[in-house]
Amino acid sequence: MQDLTNHMETAALQTLDAAHHMHPFTTQTDLAARGARVITGGNGIWLRDSEGAQILDAMAGLWCVNIGYGRSELADVAARQMRELPYYNTFFMTTTVPALQLAAKLAELAPGDLNHVFFAGSGSEANDTNLRMVRTYWAEKGKPAKQTIISRWNAYHGSSVGSGSLGGMKGMHAQGGMPIPGIAHIDQPDWWSEGGDMSPDDFGLYCARQLEAKIDELGEDSIAAFIAEPVQGAGGVIVPPETYWPEISRICKEREILLVADEVICGFGRTGAWFGSQTMGLTPDIMTIAKGLSSGYQPIGGSIVSDEIAAVIGATEFNHGYTYSGHPVAAAVALENLRILEEEAIVQRVAEDTGPYLQQQFEALADHPMVGEARIVGMMGSLALTPDKTRRAKFAADAGTVGYMVRERCFANNLIMRHVGDRMIISPPLVITRAEIDELITRARRSLDEGMAAVKEAGLFTAA
Ligand code: PXG
């Protein structure tokens, strides 16, 4: 990897960062005391920091760098597009070549009759679009009372007021006046943490039937849509029991409500298919996309919608859009990213080769004394930490205390593996090789060992 030295000393960078840069989802004063790690470069699955350390990025950035870092083809395309046409909008009877080509390509890749794309700059924006689009759809169909959207606790759909309200993160709802009205939440299908004495299959049905119960409670003629991630990501990579999605699909078919699949993390190969909906066997009316669409090289998101919804929305003026909807540079970069994913058969490799290999290696971590379960779909996986796996016990310490301690060991071992509460999660670039998977697992095991030692030393290896 090229060694860039054209920046200030790390301490000076950290001081400037602490003085002026406000970080998302961060307690600024804590970070200022410790100093942010300054990431300066990347190649493949590897990052480099300002001290020259090589870090194995088992999170693909923020679940997005599917083709890995350092693909100069995307930089070339961006430079070419910036020279030719850096920006134009798609509002007033105009279009641009990259935007229309990307929409056509997405229509080709998306399943079923999802053939129309409304672009946004991010996943949050796209879910705001969805919120307004499903309500407008029903209003145009003569059913303006169908307004409420059902979502799930611990879901993540973004951080804007609309998408954050759709999400089910209670910590987010506690700040800034969320959720907005017209959104209802049901339980997540997290059998490990919430399944009690039920079998996973029974718990899957139990959770899915909460959707039916909520529709009955609020009245079918008031419900616009159900939104869910095929596999929850930010909530901790919650893989639903096998009974869950078939039952949700049955309910959505029988009741007059739209199904929005939030594919922001699951999309573009993450689960071993182009879309998580295909892996989990659901047929959405709308899919939210972002992240892997451009492998994070440019900010871009969107909603892929069915022929039926496009026809209804298309018959009126939909008073909605973003300055950067269909941004030509972002769209050109996304197209190049999709070309690489397709021509290098990366999704297929995840399905048939590296995905099954990672699964085998990752699931073997369940033999670690502090790991209760290891679940993985394609290349998104989660380890549930526990002081007593026979009882699926939670730690007596506040949720996240132990997860944070293990994460600290990952950080020290130059492995980016995050914690969500007391779960450890991975979502590596899809181009990870078998040898790199071995390295990831070696570092993860070492971090678990060291983490457990630290937990024991702190007297925290005790069940609630
Ligand atoms: N939907 C899903 C399923 C997501 O995971 C969004 C929507 C919002 O996308 P934007 O592009 O607006 O961020 C996301 C984003 C985390 C974490 O801590 C996850 C996300 C964002 C920030 C942090 O895992 N996912």
pLDDT in tens, 16-62: 999 999 999 999 999 999 999 999 999 999 999 999 999 999 999 99
Residue nearest to atom 17 of ligand 1 (CA): 234
Task: Report whether residue 62 contacts ligand 1, using a CB cutoff of 6 Å.
Answer: yes
Q: How many whole angstroms separate alpha carbon 410 and alpha carbon 383?
A: 14
- pLDDT the model gives residue 7: 80
For residue 219, how far is its CA from the centre of ligand 1 (angstroms)? 31
For residue 216, CA distances in Å to 180, 183, 237 come to 21, 15, 29
| Bridge partners, 238 (sequence order) | 232
Task: Report whether residue 234 contacts ligand 1, using a CB cutoff of 6 Å.
Answer: yes
405-443 burial: b if 16+ Cβ within 10 Å, else e: bbbebbeebebbbbbbbbbbbbbbbbbbeeebbebbbeb
Atom of ligand 1 nearest to the CA of 233: 5
> Residue written as tokens 């499903």?
134
Q: How many whole angstroms separate alpha carbon 356 and alpha carbon 438?
A: 13
Domain architecture of the chain: domains with CATH: 37-70+345-457 (3.90.1150.10), 73-343 (3.40.640.10)
Residue nearest to atom 7 of ligand 1 (CA): 157
Atom of ligand 1 nearest to the CA of 229: 3
Q: How many whole angstroms separate alpha carbon 308 and alpha carbon 329?
A: 30
Atom of ligand 1 nearest to the CA of 262: 3
For residue 464, how far is its CA from the centre of ligand 1 (angstroms)? 31
Residue nearest to atom 19 of ligand 1 (CA): 234
For residue 157, how far is its CA from the centre of ligand 1 (angstroms)? 6
> According to DSSP H, which parts of 85-142 are helical?
97-109, 123-140
Give the pairing type, strands 223-228 and 258-262. parallel
Residue nearest to atom 10 of ligand 1 (CA): 123
Short-list 259, 258, 265, 256, CA closest to 281: 259
Mutation choice for ligand 1 from 160, 169, 237, 291, CB with most ligand atoms inside 8 A: 291
Amino acid of residue 221: D
- pLDDT the model gives residue 5: 56
- pLDDT the model gives residue 1: 46
Whether the bond into 179 is cis, omega within 30 of 0: yes
With residue 57 as reference, give the H or E element that holds it: strand 54-57
For residue 123, how far is its CA from the centre of ligand 1 (angstroms)? 7
Q: How many whole angstroms separate alpha carbon 146 and alpha carbon 258?
A: 10
Task: Report whether residue 289 contacts ligand 1, using a CB cutoff of 6 Å.
Answer: no
For residue 422, how far is its CA from the centre of ligand 1 (angstroms)? 19
Q: 463 is written with which tokens?
A: 């069940």
Taking 70 as the pLDDT cut, the residues of the chain under it are 1-6
